[in-house]
Structure 1
Amino acid sequence: MATYTPTQLIGLDNMLTLEERQICDTVREFCDRDLRPHIEDWFEDHTIPRDLGPVFGQMGVLGMHLDGYGCAGTSAVAYGLACMELEAVDSGIRSFVSVQGSLAMYAIHRWGSEEQKQQWLPQMAEGKAIGCFGLTEPDFGSNPAGMRTYAKRDGDDWVISGSKMWITNGSLADVAVVWAKTDDGYAGFLVEKDTPGFTTHDIARKMSLRASITSELVLDNVRVPDSARLPEVNSLRGPLSCLNEARFGIMFGALGAARDCIDQTLEYVKERQVFDKPLSSYQLTQAKLADMVLELDKGILLALQLGRLKDEGKLPHESISLGKLNSTREAIQIARTCRTLLGASGITTEYSPIRHANNLESVLTYEGTAEMHQLILGNALTGEAAFR
């Protein structure tokens, strides 16, 4: 009897364009060849090589869904599929690409001046310059309006003071997109790494996203010219629009982690002998596999539909919350269930589920916690805001 891969059961390839399949296959081959052999060591060593930037740039995945300035201008679905393949290796890998393209580059592309776009986007698309996104603060995550980082106008300059926390790529970045309160609302600033008063401190002893650099940004009377301010926005609409871009990539990416867990577990249970039979031959094993594949495939169908809507310009931000909530919640449960099928072998990084499960603890929380997305959906359904 023929066996199927999880995505063959929904005929995923038949729902993709030729270009989307080619991008998906190319990124998967790159991941298997250049990233997967090293990911256990990067996770163990609590790092990610900075020189991956130009490698990702050569692959064309940095800001790939943006138009112009050296960016590929692919469809949203193609970008999502690339995120799925990257996170099938590790959430830290996808986070590197997502922060670069959907947060830092998107902020400049959407809200920056032409001069800022010309200065930064081509070299960021090539991975020669790395960016980070400074919004979250030690005391303000879900409520960015409460940020304490403040920018005061001083002649032709701005003076910025405050701190940002949990910033992916923070100490790797050549430029930080820093959001601050002003007398007139909120503003984004492009702060270069060597600016006096600007320092970064890496966060150590993480149990999640270990193959990723996470930093604190400290701004101590950092002086930047007005030309460093993103001129097209003066409200929280700026950073929130960037977060929606990142959440879209997470929606696909988390499913990549789930798929990798299932793939590795399927191989294991077919080989593992229990009471002189393959573990795969037992009813409870098959029930777990069936339930996991069902949730994976439902998640992929949802993500694909939302991606098509995004490409048509018809995707409301509430729908992105629907996809992000579903993908992250189901992916972490799949990773945990796969770990049970791996038994004691599942607690080592020889197999990916425990690593993915640890990473997904962060993915479930960042770019909006699961609870915040529940409230966004609740607000959309009832018209009542229950955030406070």
Structure 2
Amino acid sequence: MTYAVEPVGPPDAVKFAATVRGEAGNWDRAGTLPEPVREAVARAGLFGVGLPERYGGSGGGPAELGEVCAEIGGVCSALRGLLTVQEMVAAALLRWGTAAQREQWLPQLARGHRFAAFAATEAGAGTDLAGVETRIDEDGDDLVVTGRKRWITFGGTADVFLVLGRAAGRPAAVLVEGDLTGVRREPVEGQLGMRAAEIAHVDFDGVRVPRDHLVGPPGTGLTHVVGTALDHGRYTVAWGCVGMAEAGLDAAADHAVNRLQRGVPLAEHQLVRAQLARAAVQTRAARELCARAGRLRRQGDPSAVAETVVAKYAAAGAATAVGSTAVQTLGAAGIAPDSLAGRFFRDAKVMELIEGSPFVSELHIGDRLLRRHGFCPPSGERARAVIQEGPQ
């Protein structure tokens, strides 16, 4: 299928979403995003929404980026995931990369000429990324990257990875092209959700890259480079969850009005209306929290990072709860192979776990509240706060 979407003025996510909406279920079943879809996203200008125009982006702010992610999230979480990882790597390079790195990589990412992946998670380092064991060793003019990364979104097809490792015992981040000798990919299939996100485990077996692929000095790889990427990822995931919740709510409400039982619409049952009302409030609250986080980010407010954690926590929870309500309302239609509600229900649970699980987010939010009243978290928990808050 050809997706004929051309950019007209600012990136138009609404027009693009309408073009591909009917195909998302097929991508989920196939476990991949077809190349023509990626090309259409690039033509529509959606990869560079948050990047300055000088790097091929559209110069949009947090509000514009959020609405794009919500629109795409309401169609396909895997497609929104492609935008997220592209934005995560671009955001890290924009803030912490050298001038040469920005000039080389950002236009390629903004135009979809290359696709990026964020390689941080390991078997023993998921929530606590301070525990990564991937090595970044010096060898003359090169760096040698050795380690195994797990659950990498679009790790199966990425052209370049932003890899978190350790250089001389200190956290460091490095760019590694996917076609280099020593890069091996192990596709993950049949996972709960995000099935079209081409998730893979990736081995880096003595991969040699130039020293200038190091992003930021050693010691800043986690709190600065990766911290920026994760913060950006949380924000886009949060808005994607808003889109999922809104689409799921619309599907449930439409079914409730049009599904008849003994000649009576489901909507005439008070319990159904009450369920939908709760879902509507959760969805609206999530949108407002995301909008608040966006305003703070635009203003450069120091609390923006923490408020983004709040927004992602609320939005992912709303998407999961609304997904459950939608499936319940649709009944058998909600668990059918082609059910949008069922697909979003699976995807939403994944959204709760990535970019900060609910439990970690709750601890972070609670600690932040209590610190204002003089409470200091136990010393063993300070690393979590650093990872969650990132650089100010």
**1:192 is matched with which residue: 156, 168, 177?**
177
**CA deviations over 1:301-323 (Å, ceiling 9, x no partner):** 12112211111111432211111
Segments of 5+ residues of structure 2 without an aligned counterpart are 1-8, 382-392
Matched, 1:170 2:147: no
Match of 2:122 in 1: 137
**CA deviations over 1:337-382 (Å, ceiling 9, x no partner):** 1111111111014331111010111110001111111111122112
Contact 1:100 1:131 survives alignment (8 Å): yes
Match of 1:328 in 2: 316
Q: How far apart are the structure 2 equivalents of 1:108 and 1:53?
A: 22
**1:111 is matched with which residue: 96, 118, 134?**
96
Matched, 1:125 2:110: yes
Q: How far apart are the structure 1 equivalents of 2:144 and 2:13?
A: 42
Partner secondary structure for residue 17 of structure 2: helix
**1:294 is matched with which residue: 261, 278, 281?**
281
Q: How far apart are the structure 2 equivalents of 1:197 and 1:181?
A: 18
Match of 1:221 in 2: 206
Partner secondary structure for residue 348 of structure 2: helix
Contact 2:134 2:166 survives alignment (8 Å): yes
CA separation of 1:233 and 1:349: change in aligned 2, threshold 3 A = farther
Q: How far apart are the structure 2 equivalents of 1:219 and 1:212?
A: 20
Partner secondary structure for residue 375 of structure 1: helix
Match of 1:340 in 2: 328
Matched, 1:259 2:246: yes
Contact 1:174 1:192 survives alignment (8 Å): yes
Contact 1:264 1:351 survives alignment (8 Å): no
Letter of the 2:286 partner, please give it.
G
Q: How far apart are the structure 2 equivalents of 1:272 and 1:50?
A: 37
**2:292 is matched with which residue: 288, 295, 305?**
305
Match of 2:388 in 1: none
Letter of the 2:377 partner, please give it.
A
Match of 1:273 in 2: 260
Partner secondary structure for residue 202 of structure 2: strand
Partner secondary structure for residue 117 of structure 1: helix
Partner secondary structure for residue 215 of structure 2: coil
Instruction: Note the C-alpha offset of 1:232.
Output: 5.1
Instruction: Note the C-alpha offset of 1:63.
Output: 3.2
Q: How far apart are the structure 1 equivalents of 2:49 and 2:115?
A: 15
Q: How far apart are the structure 1 equivalents of 2:15 and 2:274?
A: 31
Match of 1:385 in 2: 377
Q: How far apart are the structure 2 equivalents of 1:110 and 1:132?
A: 17
Match of 2:4 in 1: none
Matched, 1:230 2:187: no
**1:79 is matched with which residue: 40, 50, 65?**
65
Match of 1:250 in 2: 237
Matched, 1:89 2:81: no
Matched, 1:352 2:337: no
Instruction: Note the C-alpha offset of 1:184.
Output: 5.4
Segments of 5+ residues of structure 1 without an aligned counterpart are 1-21
Match of 1:62 in 2: 47
Contact 1:151 1:182 survives alignment (8 Å): yes
Partner secondary structure for residue 156 of structure 2: helix
Contact 1:132 1:177 survives alignment (8 Å): yes
More moved, 358-367 vs 301-310: 301-310
Matched, 1:285 2:272: yes
TM-score, structure 1 as length reference: 0.90
Q: How far apart are the structure 1 equivalents of 2:101 and 2:206?
A: 22
- Give 4+ residue runs of structure 1 displaced > 4 Å after superposition: none
Aligned-residue RMSD, C-alpha: 1.6
Q: How far apart are the structure 1 equivalents of 2:127 and 2:110?
A: 29
Partner secondary structure for residue 377 of structure 1: helix
Partner secondary structure for residue 27 of structure 2: helix
Residue correspondence of structure 1 range 24-35 to structure 2 within 5 A: 26-33=12-19, 35=20
Q: How far apart are the structure 2 equivalents of 1:215 and 1:58?
A: 26
Instruction: Note the C-alpha offset of 1:197.
Output: 1.0
Letter of the 2:123 partner, please give it.
P
**CA deviations over 1:20-67 (Å, ceiling 9, x no partner):** xx969x31221121x211111111111112343332122112131122
Aligned length: 364
Partner secondary structure for residue 220 of structure 1: strand
Percent of aligned pairs with the same residue?
A: 27
TM-score, structure 2 as length reference: 0.89
Q: How far apart are the structure 1 equivalents of 2:95 and 2:184?
A: 26
Contact 2:165 2:171 survives alignment (8 Å): yes
More moved, 325-334 vs 299-308: 299-308
Instruction: Note the C-alpha offset of 1:231.
Output: 3.4
Q: How far apart are the structure 2 equivalents of 1:28 and 1:265?
A: 21
Q: How far apart are the structure 2 equivalents of 1:132 and 1:157?
A: 22
Match of 1:16 in 2: none
Q: How far apart are the structure 2 equivalents of 1:211 and 1:188?
A: 27
Instruction: Note the C-alpha offset of 1:149.
Output: 0.2
Q: How far apart are the structure 1 equivalents of 2:101 and 2:214?
A: 9
